[in-house]
Amino acid sequence: MIKETLRFHPPIPLLVPREASRDVKVMGYDIAAGTMVVTNAWAIGRDPELWDEPEKFYPERFLSSSIDFKGHDFQLIPFGAGRRGCPGIAFAMVTNELVLANLMQKFDWELPHETKGEDLDMTECPGVTTRRKIPLLAVATPCC
């Protein structure tokens, strides 16, 4: 679930810009030394050449896959890759897993009133970080 969320909604859609240290050719494009390069993690996560049904939120796609978000598999790089990857990746993932596990274990979740899942607007707003245009409202009921 977490991998699919990071693929479909990366926390920072445009990764930190980097400067090309030497002239290089990438996918037929000449990149001169000194050029600022910005990687679009959002577009990589929705590339139909890399993903089957990229516009569908489908967590099961990672059940039998070795693809990971730690920067070794370039089709999933929400935290960047290589020696310039995010140094806080381990802390972020432990925190995400702990918070998600506690929220799922200690609460029953529902949509308010007569709202249906298919009626939710998942439109995103542009910006430094990704957020929903219309905030999600959910009702948490303590269980046990």
The answer to whether the annotation marks 86 as part of a ligand binding site is yes
Nearest to 5 by CA among 41, 38, 48: 41
Burial of 5 (0-12, 13-18, 19+ CB in 10 A): middle
CA neighbours closer than 13 Å in the CB half-sphere of residue 24: 11
How far is the C-alpha of 15 from the C-alpha of 18, rounded, in Å?
A: 9
Q: Which token pair is 71?
A: 């920067």
Q: Which token pair is 96?
A: 């995400």
Task: Count how many residues are written for the chain.
Answer: 144
| Residue stretches of the annotated binding site | 86
| Residue stretches of the annotated binding site for heme | 86
